[in-house]
């Protein structure tokens, strides 16, 4: 079950600092290349556990962990993004992930994800609590109560588990990860390559149609 | 003990596939920005072991390992580099690393390192054997016998151990790693950022001198 090769599947996790960079950048970058985004929130925790790791590699490997925060400062400066190192890392983002599943095909998905990411990586606040998430939903003109209820109900819980299991089956081992058809790209550093790949495929596909 | 902030320290390992990309690119890229390179060959094996890993993470984590080879194909295409996945990975590069220590300040260092990397990642050959390395040295107009003897003698063995230990003390956890002063950059994906950082420092330093 793979997406149309002319789209980009964007697999991200709200607790992941490198996902923060891509969430903030992807809508503008994809619009420039006219590549539609398929939003795919998932949880990294079960993925890491399936690989035998009890936590994020940035927590488990102290050398890499120390580096990552310096790298984030520089990357955010490069992309013109605000940045505060979260006092809790990685933050649990189960509730906003379920909300992102609800909104995945809706026009508000991008703005919602950016606001949740800013809650974590700019405002340094808990992202898993209803009272933090409700104001974001309201500000987007949505019914916070309805979406919160849906996000806490069993069907949406199961959908997030399923989506996370699908991530694992597709060979995803970190976030963000992008797919263009079956082609996998890992890390914010590959977002531009993935978009270029998708747009080149669109050109190839439309010129082959033109020849028919 | 840190280098002049206007230089780039280039820590690399001949068995590392992402070091291959940087070894092939760095001389041209650094020349464009007029940043001098300090070549720092070292061994990743002792670094990984100190972090509790018995081998490369690309071998230990099968999901990441599977991805890396596809990523390398695409990256090599992007940079216009040849690529063949090595039949042995990671290859031991102790002898060429000692040779690179001998040549670190010599004009032949860049060409030597590129040829050893091509032996590994284009020709898929053992890089730790004298009979593979001698032709490279000869082609560079060097006395292969003298350099081979030096590379097999105790002082140079100790120097490589010391340099690897220094890498560990500096917080290096992978290769390639770049330092500009005390600022660390990890991975081929950060080479351009590191060079930009070094060149901006040079500009800042020369304009502050001009004001004095």
Whose tokens are 């898993």? That residue is A128
Q: State which H helix or E strand residue B45 sits in.
A: helix B44-50
Orientation angle between helical segments A94-103 and A154-169, nearest 10 degrees: 90
Distance from CA of B183 to the nearest CA of A (A): 9
Of A61, A70, A193, the CB nearest to B184: A70
Of B63, B67, B173, the CB nearest to A51: B63
pLDDT value at B3 more than 60: no
Minimum mean pLDDT among A14-23, B89-98, B139-148, B200-209: which range?
Answer: B200-209
Encoded tokens for B206: 């020369």
At residue B8, the 3 state secondary structure works out as strand
Query: What pLDDT score was predicted for residue B79?
Result: 98
- Cβ-contact A116, A14 below 8 angstroms: yes
Q: What mean pLDDT, rounded, does chain B reach?
A: 94
Query: What pLDDT score was predicted for residue A1?
Result: 47
Tell me which residue of B73, B74, B69 sits closest to A171, measured CA to CA.
B69
At CB < 8 A and 24+ separation, what contacts does A179-186 make? A179/A2, A179/A3, A179/A8, A179/A9, A179/A11, A180/A5, A180/A7, A180/A8, A180/A9, A181/A2, A181/A3, A181/A4, A181/A5, A182/A2, A183/B70, A184/B67, A184/B70, A185/B71, A186/B67, A186/B71
At residue B86, the 3 state secondary structure works out as coil
Instruction: Encode chain A in three state secondary structure.
Output: CCCCCCCEEEEECCCCHHHHHHHHHHHHHHHHCCCCEEEEECCHHHHHHHCCCCCCHHHHCHHHHHHHHHHHHHHHHHHCCCCCCCCCCCCCCHHHHHHHHHHCCCCCHHHHHHHHHHHHHCCCCCCCCHHHHHHHHHHCCCCHHHHHHHHHCHHHHHHHHHHHHHHHHCCCCCCCEEEECCEEEECHHHHHHHHHHHHHHHHHHHHHHHHC
Between these two residues, A206 and B128, which has the higher pLDDT value? Answer: B128
Query: What pLDDT score was predicted for residue B212?
Result: 55
Encoded tokens for B150: 């030096």
Summary count for chain B: helices (H), strands (E): 10, 4
Nearest-by-CA chain A residue for B66: A171
Q: What is the pLDDT of residues B39-67, one digit of tens each?
A: 999 999 999 999 888 888 888 888 899 99
Query: What pLDDT score was predicted for residue A201?
Result: 86
pLDDT value at B121 more than 90: yes
Q: ∠ CA(A8), CA(A14), CA(A16), 5° rounding? A: 90
Query: What pLDDT score was predicted for residue B184?
Result: 98
Q: What is the pLDDT of residues B70-117, one digit of tens each?
A: 999 999 999 999 999 999 999 999 999 999 999 999 999 999 999 999
A66 Cβ contact partners less than 8 Å away, ≥ 6 residues apart: B171
Do B67 and A171 count as a contact with CB atoms less than 8 A apart? yes
Nearest-by-CA chain A residue for B60: A51
Query: What pLDDT score was predicted for residue B1?
Result: 47
Do B173 and A70 count as a contact with CB atoms less than 8 A apart? no
Q: Return the DSSP state at B176.
A: S
Distance from CA of B126 to the nearest CA of A (A): 30
Over range B139-157, report the average pLDDT: 97
Query: What pLDDT score was predicted for residue B115?
Result: 98
Supply the pTM of this predicted model. 0.93
Regions of chain A short of the pLDDT cut 70: 1-5, 209-212
Whose tokens are 């531009």? That residue is A192
Of B67, B173, B189, the CB nearest to A63: B173
Query: What pLDDT score was predicted for residue A119?
Result: 98
- Whole-angstrom Cα distance, residue B154 to residue B162? 12
A67 touches chain B (CB under 8 A): yes
- Whole-angstrom Cα distance, residue B198 to residue B31? 12
ipTM: 0.90
- Cβ-contact A20, A82 below 8 angstroms: no
Return the number of other C-beta atoms located less than 10 Å from residue A75's C-beta.
20
Report the b/e string of A171-184 with b at 16+ CB within 10 A: bbbbbbbbbbbebb
Query: What pLDDT score was predicted for residue B5?
Result: 65
Of A66, A171, A193, the CB nearest to B63: A171
Q: What is the pLDDT of residues B30-40, one digit of tens each?
A: 999 999 999 99
pLDDT value at B161 more than 70: yes
B184 forms beta bridges with: B179
Q: What is the pLDDT of residues B166-182, one digit of tens each?
A: 999 999 999 999 999 99
User: What backbone torsions phi and psi does residue A183 show, to the nearest 5 degrees?
Assistant: -85, 120
Q: State which H helix or E strand residue B150 sits in.
A: helix B144-152
Q: What is the pLDDT of residues A78-113, one digit of tens each?
A: 999 999 999 999 999 999 999 999 999 999 999 999
User: What backbone torsions phi and psi does residue B38 show, to the nearest 5 degrees?
Assistant: -105, 110
- Cβ-contact A184, A201 below 8 angstroms: no
């Amino acid at each position: 079950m793979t997406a149309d090769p002319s789209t980009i599947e964007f697999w991200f996790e709200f607790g992941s600092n490198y996902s923060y960079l891509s969430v903030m950048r992807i809508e503008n970058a994809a619009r420039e290349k006219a590549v539609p985004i398929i939003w795919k929130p998932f949880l990294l925790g079960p993925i890491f556990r399936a690989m035998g790791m009890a936590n994020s590699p940035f927590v488990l490997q102290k050398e890499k962990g120390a580096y990552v925060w310096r790298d984030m400062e520089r990357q955010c400066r490069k992309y013109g993004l605000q940045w505060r190192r979260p006092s809790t890392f990685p933050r649990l983002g189960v509730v906003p992930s379920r909300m992102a599943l609800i909104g995945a095909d809706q026009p508000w998905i991008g703005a919602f994800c950016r606001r949740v990411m800013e809650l974590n990586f700019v405002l340094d606040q808990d992202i898993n609590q209803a009272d933090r998430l409700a104001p974001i939903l309201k500000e987007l003109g949505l019914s916070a109560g309805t979406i919160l209820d849906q996000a806490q109900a069993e069907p949406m819980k199961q959908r997030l588990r399923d989506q996370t299991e699908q991530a694992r089956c597709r060979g995803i081992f970190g976030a963000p990860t992008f797919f263009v058809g079956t082609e996998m790209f890992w890390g914010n550093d590959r977002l531009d390559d993935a978009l270029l790949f998708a747009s080149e495929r669109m050109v190839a596909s439309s010129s082959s149609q033109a020849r028919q």
